[in-house]
Amino acid sequence: MRCFAWLAASLMLLSVCGCGPATGTVSGNVTIDGQPLDKGIISFAAAEGTEQPASADIANGHYQATMQVGKKFVQISAPISVGKRKADAPGVPPEDIWQERLPPKFNSESKLEFEVKPGANAKDWETQSVGGKKS
């Protein structure tokens, strides 16, 4: 009987604690040319493994994302509408024309990395606009 009680208690503890992968929350600020980035997106892709990438909206310079722990490749994007293009079909509203405000070194050619640890992680990112201040 004692063995059964121990086994039941162990199984209950495992169900409460969970057996899933460890996660961490990454939050911080993103600046562009020294000012808070008004809006954009930040993405974290696993350097190893097959987990889904995590992403978060950047609003008023701040972001927060929860993901599995481990080494991540980071991309930051800040598209802005620079005009409208007429649609090919009649009655269809014009489409926005988007332009990336950040150079490729922050997104399509990014070499940015971050090690996500269990629990809370803080990381600020400083970026420059295309043709903006040089660091």
Instruction: Give the whole-angstrom CA distance, residue 134 versus residue 35.
Output: 14
Look up residue 19 and give its two tokens: 């057996």
Q: What's the rounded mean pLDDT across residues 101-130?
A: 97
Residue 10 scores a pLDDT above 70: no
Domain boundaries in the chain?
A: 22-127
Residue 134, C-beta contacts closer than 8 angstroms, at least 6 positions apart: 128
Please tell me the predicted confidence (pLDDT) of residue 5: 47
To 5 degrees, how large is the angle CA 69–CA 58–CA 23? 15
> Beta-carbon neighbour count of residue 88 at 10 Å?
7
Residue 83, C-beta contacts closer than 8 angstroms, at least 6 positions apart: 96, 97
Please tell me the predicted confidence (pLDDT) of residue 11: 46
Q: Which CATH superfamily is domain 22-127 in?
A: Immunoglobulins (2.60.40.10)
Please tell me the predicted confidence (pLDDT) of residue 26: 98
pLDDT in tens, 65-108: 999 999 999 999 999 999 999 888 888 898 989 999 999 999 99
For residue 72, CA distances in Å to 4, 40, 53, 99 come to: 43, 19, 9, 26
The answer, as to whether pTM is greater than 0.85, is: no
DSSP category for residue 92: P
pLDDT in tens, 26-53: 999 999 999 999 999 999 999 988 888 9
Residue 22 scores a pLDDT above 50: yes
